[in-house]
Amino acid sequence: MRTLVTGGAGMIGSHLVDALIDGGDEVVVLDNFLTGRRENLAHRDDSPLMQVLEADVSVATDLMEKVGPVDRVYHLASPASPIDFARYPLETLMTNAVGTRNALDLARHWDARFLLASTSEIYGDPEVHPQPETYRGNASSLGPRSCYDEGKRFAESLAMTYWREYGVDVRIARLFNTYGPRSRTDDGRVVPTFCVQALSRRPLTVFGSGLQTRSLCYVSDIVRGLIALMETRGIGGEAVNLGCPEERTVLEIAEIIAALAGSPCHIEGGPLPVDDPARRCPDIGKAQRLLGWLPEIDLETGLKMTLEHFRAELALSRGAAA
Ligand code: NAD
Ligand code: UDP
C-alpha cells in the first residue's frame, strides 16, 4: 500500500508514519514544518519506505504529480496547539480550507481513501457531557479559537461534500486531547508545558481555576484508532470520536505530572484563555461499536513515557547550551 500522511512530521503524524512503515506501507510525508519537526522522522531516514516532501499543502500546485499514486491519504496537517493557532491564524484557516481541498482533490484523483484528522474543538465549549458525534456543538465563529474550530468544521463539511458529490471514501476522526513523546518543549499544550515545568523544577502554570477538565489519550492509542478507522470497510462518510473517556481537571493533571516527575507541585496562576472549554470528554461508544477500539494506555503509563521524552530533550538542550 502507498500512503500519504500530510502533517507527518508532527507529534501524532510521526507516530502514525512509524506504525504505517512497521506495517509495510510505503509512506509519503508532506509537511512544511510549521509546527512539526524534521527530527521527528530522522530515525526513519534510511528507510526505503519513507519519502519526505517539504511543501505547504494549502499552496502546493502540482501536488498530484509530486506525491504520485496513493491508496490512502491521512490528512493531519494543521497547527493544533492553542498557542500555535494563535500565532498562525491565517495559516490555520487556509490549511484546513484550501489544504483540505487540495488533499481531497489528490485523493479523488488517485482514487484513494481519505481520513481527516478533525478535533473535539468542533464541539466548542460543549453543553452536553460526554460529547457524542451527534452533538452539534457550541463553537464561536468570532473568537480567537475560531480559526481552528471553524477551520476544522469547514474541513469536515468539505470532506462530506466530496463523499456525497464525488464518492470519495472519506472518514473523519474527531480527536480529543492527545499527548505523547515528540511534542516540542515550547508546544504550549497542557501536557508538554507541565512536563517541562515539572522537570525543570519550575512552578506549573495552571490557567483559571484549574477546575476545567480534559480527557487525555496517549498517542499510540490514537494511532491505532486512526488506522482502524481508515481500514474498516463500509464506513465511508462516518465521523468518529477518538479519545480517552476519563475526565481530569487541569489541577489533577498538574498534580499527577509533578508527582511522576518527582517534583513539588508549585502552582502559578494565570488567566484562563478566551473561549477555553470548561469540560471535555468523548463518548467513544461509536468507535467501540464500529472499530472495536478502546484506549489501552493508562494516564500514568503514558505520562511516564512522555516525561522520558522531555527529560531527553531538556538534557540535549542543556548539553547544547554548555
Ligand atoms: P502538530 O503541530 O505536532 O502536527 C501538525 C503537523 O502539520 C506539523 O508537522 C506541521 O508542520 C504540519 N503542517 C501545518 N500546516 C501545514 C501545511 N500548511 N502544510 C503542510 N504541513 C503543515 O500537531 P498534532 O498534535 O500532531 O496534530 C496533528 C493533527 O491532529 C492536526 O490536524 C490536529 O488538528 C489534530 N488533532 C490533534 C489533537 C491533539 O491533542 N494532539 C487533538 C485534536 C486534533
Ligand atoms: N492549560 C493550563 N496551563 C498551561 C497550558 C494549558 O492551565 O500551561 C489549560 C488550558 O487553559 C486548558 C487545558 O489546560 O484548559 C488544556 O489546554 P491545551 O492547550 O492543552 O489544549 P485545549 O484542550 O485547550 O485545546
Structural domain containing residue 310: 190-214+246-279+297-321
Residue 10 included in any domain? yes
Report d(CA 322, CA 301) in Å as an integer: 32
pLDDT at 322 over 90: no
Residue 288 included in any domain? no
Same domain, 168 and 262: no
Same domain, 139 and 264: no
Same domain, 153 and 257: no
Question: What number is the average pLDDT over the span 158-162?
Answer: 98
Same domain, 81 and 127: yes
Question: What number is the average pLDDT over the span 24-46?
Answer: 98
Same domain, 22 and 161: yes
pLDDT at 321: 79
Q: Assign 61 a pLDDT band (cuts: 50, 70, 90).
A: confident
C-alpha of residue 265 to centroid of ligand 1, in Å: 30
CA 120 from centre of chain: 10
Residue 129 included in any domain? yes
pLDDT at 104 over 90: yes
Of the candidates 74, 123, 148, 162, the residue annotated as catalytic is: 148
pLDDT at 320: 81
Same domain, 252 and 140: no
Residue 199 included in any domain? yes
Same domain, 152 and 197: no
pLDDT at 293 over 90: yes
pLDDT at 239: 98
Question: What number is the average pLDDT over the span 103-121?
Answer: 98
Report d(CA 220, CA 57) in Å as an integer: 25
- Residue 62's contacts (CB-CB under 8 Å, 6 or more residues apart) are none
Q: Assign 265 a pLDDT band (cuts: 50, 70, 90).
A: confident
Q: Greater confidence, 298 or 318?
A: 298
Same domain, 155 and 303: no
Residue nearest to atom 20 of ligand 1 (CA): 31
Same domain, 91 and 233: yes
Which ligand is in closest contact with the Cα of 252?
2
The whole model's pTM is what?
Answer: 0.98
Same domain, 197 and 72: no
pLDDT at 268: 96
Residue 287 included in any domain? no
Atom of ligand 1 nearest to the CA of 217: 40
Q: Assign 60 a pLDDT band (cuts: 50, 70, 90).
A: confident
**Domain total for the chain?**
2
Question: What number is the average pLDDT over the span 20-37?
Answer: 98
pLDDT digits (tens, 9 = 90+) for 74-91: 999 999 999 999 999 999
Same domain, 76 and 206: no
pLDDT at 94 over 90: yes
Residue 291 included in any domain? no
Dihedral sign, CA of 69, 74, 75, 81?
Answer: negative
Q: Give the H/E segment covering residue 240.
A: strand 238-242
Q: Greater confidence, 322 or 209?
A: 209
Dihedral sign, CA of 290, 296, 298, 299?
Answer: negative
- Residue 49's contacts (CB-CB under 8 Å, 6 or more residues apart) are 21, 24, 25, 26, 27
User: Is 148 marked active-site?
Assistant: yes
C-alpha of residue 183 to centroid of ligand 2, in Å: 15
| Domain of residue 161, CATH code | 3.40.50.720
Residue with cell 472495536: 292
Percent of the chain with pLDDT over 90: 96
pLDDT at 270: 96
Same domain, 171 and 196: no
Atom of ligand 1 nearest to the CA of 92: 15
Residue 17 included in any domain? yes
Question: What number is the average pLDDT over the span 246-273?
Answer: 96
295 lines ligand 1 (CB under 6 A): no
C-alpha of residue 315 to centroid of ligand 1, in Å: 26
| Domain of residue 266, CATH code | 3.90.25.10
Which ligand is in closest contact with the Cα of 175?
1
Assess contact for 97 and 154: CB atoms under 8 A: yes
Residue in 34, 90, 122 to alter for ligand 1 test, most ligand atoms within 8 A of Cβ: 34
Residue 185 included in any domain? no
pLDDT at 101 over 80: yes
282 lines ligand 2 (CB under 6 A): no
Report d(CA 96, CA 86) in Å as an integer: 15
Assess contact for 315 and 199: CB atoms under 8 A: no
pLDDT at 318 over 90: no
C-alpha of residue 213 to centroid of ligand 1, in Å: 22
C-alpha of residue 107 to centroid of ligand 2, in Å: 34
Residue nearest to atom 19 of ligand 2 (CA): 189
206 lines ligand 2 (CB under 6 A): yes
Which ligand is in closest contact with the Cα of 177?
1
7 lines ligand 1 (CB under 6 A): yes
119 lines ligand 2 (CB under 6 A): no
pLDDT digits (tens, 9 = 90+) for 196-246: 999 999 999 999 999 999 999 999 999 999 999 999 999 999 999 999 999
pLDDT digits (tens, 9 = 90+) for 134-147: 999 999 999 999 99
